[in-house]
Amino acid sequence: QQQVKQSPQSLIVQKGGISIINCAYENTAFDYFPWYQQFPGKGPALLIAIRPDVSEKKEGRFTISFNKSAKQFSLHIMDSQPGDSATYFCAAAPFGNEKLTFGTGTRLTIIP
C-alpha cells in the first residue's frame, strides 16, 4: 500500500512536444505529491508539487494534474526541450509525515 507506481520507464519525445509521465498510488493517507528531476551524477531537484485540494498546478512549462478519485497524478512538460532530458521521479507523503515514497523513475529523452 506504500507503493507509488510510475510509468513509463522511459520516454522519447521530440523537441517542442508534450512529455507526460504518470503515477498511481494506493495509500489514501498520501496528501503531498512532489515531482523531482535528476540529472546523471546529481541529486534530485524539486520541480513542482501538489496537494489534494487542487486538481491542477502549473509552473512555467510544468503542470501537475491530480485525480483524487482515481488516485493518480501526472506531470506534463509542455514545449519539451533537450535540456529537459533527465530522470523524473514522482513521490508521495502522508499528511504530517515528511517521509517520501518514490516512484521508480522515468528516463526522459528529448530529441531534436
Partner 1 sequence: GAVVSQHPSRVICKSGTSVKIECRSLDFQATTMFWYRQFPKQSLMLMATSNEGSKATYEQGVEKDKFLINHASLTLSTLTVTSAHPEDSSFYICSASTSWNEQFFGPGTRLTVL
Min dist. Cβ of residue 41 to partner 1 (A): 7
Asked if 36 is part of the footprint of partner 1 (rule: CB under 8 A), the reply reads yes
According to CB under 8 A, which one of 32, 57, 65, 85 is a site residue for partner 1?
A: 32
Nearest alpha-carbon partner for 28 in 64, 65, 63, 72: 72
Tell me if 62 contacts partner 1 by CB under 8 A: no
Q: Which three cell numbers stand for residue 16?
A: 517542442
Q: Strands (DSSP E) along the chain, which ranges?
A: 4-7, 10-14, 19-25, 30-38, 45-50, 56-59, 62-67, 72-77, 86-94, 101-102, 106-111
Among 1, 70, 83, 99, binds partner 1 (CB under 8 A): 99
C-alpha cell at 63: 503542470
Q: Which is nearer to partner 1, 69 or 99 (CB)?
A: 99
Interface with partner 1 (CB under 8 A): 32, 34, 36, 41-46, 49, 89, 93, 98-100, 102-105, 107
